[in-house]
């Protein structure tokens, strides 16, 4: 009879198809686990202490990086102010979550460093619980090189964002120069940039303001970019290093 061999053939084929189907489903399940099993959802960390946030992140296989520290009258010292990526974002394990830490309300008095030597000024700031932020140089024949010509924020300022003070430092004048060398203003606060330009005899055009945001975390394994500080110069025209005439107008673009 031919029927029995045919039935046997179809039975073998059916069993083979079932085995292949089970193997395919197992492979799909394994692939899904490999791909999605390494993903986690970023938790909400704002308001937590840094220690608790670090523990929470570590429990999910994430890394916590404290990028900045700011004064805040709303969030207690040692607690998280902001985070990136935002809560609910799905990322891979070992991702770096960037946060800023609250220093609590401003309680330090900003000292007056104008007229001091740069190193003495830095020491005075450290003793007050502050650090030196951005420094810029300006040729000045009236005072010794290394003297602090200006600072931002000014002495005894209230409501400052962070614990840093930017300094404008005197350098020896370039008596051979036939013009002015445009300084690099990027990263300076608007007030510090205006002071520097005015002392060099340059005019300051009305600045433009651009809204900024905390940049997203980059690709896995890459270093995150720090956020742009508000009220700082992000673009200037003419560009740094350009030789300009006295009285030339400078256009600044400021982060908001």
Angle at 21 between CA 15 and CA 23, to 5 degrees: 105
pLDDT at 231: 85
User: How many residues does this entry show for the chain?
Assistant: 256
pLDDT band at 153 (very low <50, low <70, confident <90, very high): confident
List pLDDT tens digits, range 224-245: 455 677 888 998 998 877 777 7
pLDDT at 87: 92
Residue percentage of the chain with pLDDT more than 70: 77
pLDDT at 78: 93
Question: CA–CA separation, 243 vs 7, rounded Å?
Answer: 93
| Phi, psi values for residue 85, rounded to 5° | -70, 165
Spatial contact of 30 and 37, defined as CB atoms under 8 Å apart: no
pLDDT band at 182 (very low <50, low <70, confident <90, very high): confident
Ranges of CATH 3.30.10.20 domains, the chain? 39-102, 108-176, 183-256
- Burial string for 186-203 (b: 16+ CB within 10 Å, else e) reads bbbbbebbbbbbeebebe
Helix (H) or strand (E) holding 139, with range, is strand 131-139
Number of C-beta neighbours around residue 48 at 10 A: 19
Structure-model confidence comparison of residues 110 and 9, the more confident one: 110
List pLDDT tens digits, range 41-96: 999 999 999 999 999 999 999 999 998 889 988 899 999 999 999 999 999 999 99
Residue-by-residue DSSP string for 148-183: EEEEESPTT--S-SSSEEEEEEEE---TT-SSEEPP
Helices (H), the chain: 3-36, 50-59, 118-127, 190-199
pLDDT band at 31 (very low <50, low <70, confident <90, very high): low
Map residue 101 onto helix, strand or coil: strand
pLDDT band at 255 (very low <50, low <70, confident <90, very high): confident
Radius of gyration of the chain (CA): 30
Under 8 Å CB-to-CB from 202, ≥6 apart: which residues?
A: 180, 244, 246, 247, 248, 249, 250
Query: Which option is the CATH number for 108-176: 3.50.50.60, 3.30.10.20, 3.40.50.300, 3.40.50.2300?
Result: 3.30.10.20
The architecture in CATH of the region 183-256 reads: 2-Layer Sandwich (3.30)
From the list 160, 235, 246, 159, the residue with the least C-alpha distance to 197 is 246
CATH class label, 39-102: alpha beta
pTM of the predicted model as reported, rounded to 2 decimal places: 0.53
Structure-model confidence comparison of residues 205 and 211, the more confident one: 205
């Amino acid at each position: 009879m031919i029927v029995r061999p045919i039935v046997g053939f179809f039975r073998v084929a059916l069993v083979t198809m079932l085995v292949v189907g089970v193997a395919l489903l197992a492979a799909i399940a394994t692939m899904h686990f490999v791909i999605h099993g390494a993903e986690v959802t970023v938790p909400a960390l704002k308001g937590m202490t840094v220690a608790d946030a670090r523990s929470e992140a570590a429990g999910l296989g994430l890394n916590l990086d404290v990028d900045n520290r700011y004064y805040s009258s709303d969030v207690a010292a040692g607690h998280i102010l902001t985070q990136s990526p935002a809560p609910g974002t799905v990322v891979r394990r070992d991702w770096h979550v960037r946060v800023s830490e609250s220093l609590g309300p401003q309680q330090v008095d900003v000292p007056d460093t104008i007229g001091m030597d740069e190193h003495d000024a830095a020491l005075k700031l450290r003793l007050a619980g502050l650090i030196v932020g951005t420094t810029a140089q300006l040729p000045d024949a009236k005072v010794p090189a290394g003297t602090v010509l200006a600072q931002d924020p000014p002495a005894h300022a209230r409501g400052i964002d962070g614990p840093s003070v930017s300094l404008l430092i005197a350098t020896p004048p370039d008596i051979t120069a036939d013009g002015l060398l445009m300084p690099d203003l990027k990263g300076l606060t608007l007030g510090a940039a205006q002071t520097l330009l005015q002392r060099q005899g340059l005019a300051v055009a009305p600045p433009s303001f651009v809204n900024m945001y905390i940049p997203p975390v980059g690709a896995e394994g890459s270093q995150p970019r720090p956020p742009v500080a508000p009220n700082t110069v992000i673009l200037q025209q003419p560009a740094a290093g350009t030789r300009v005439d006295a009285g030339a107008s400078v256009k600044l673009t400021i982060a908001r």
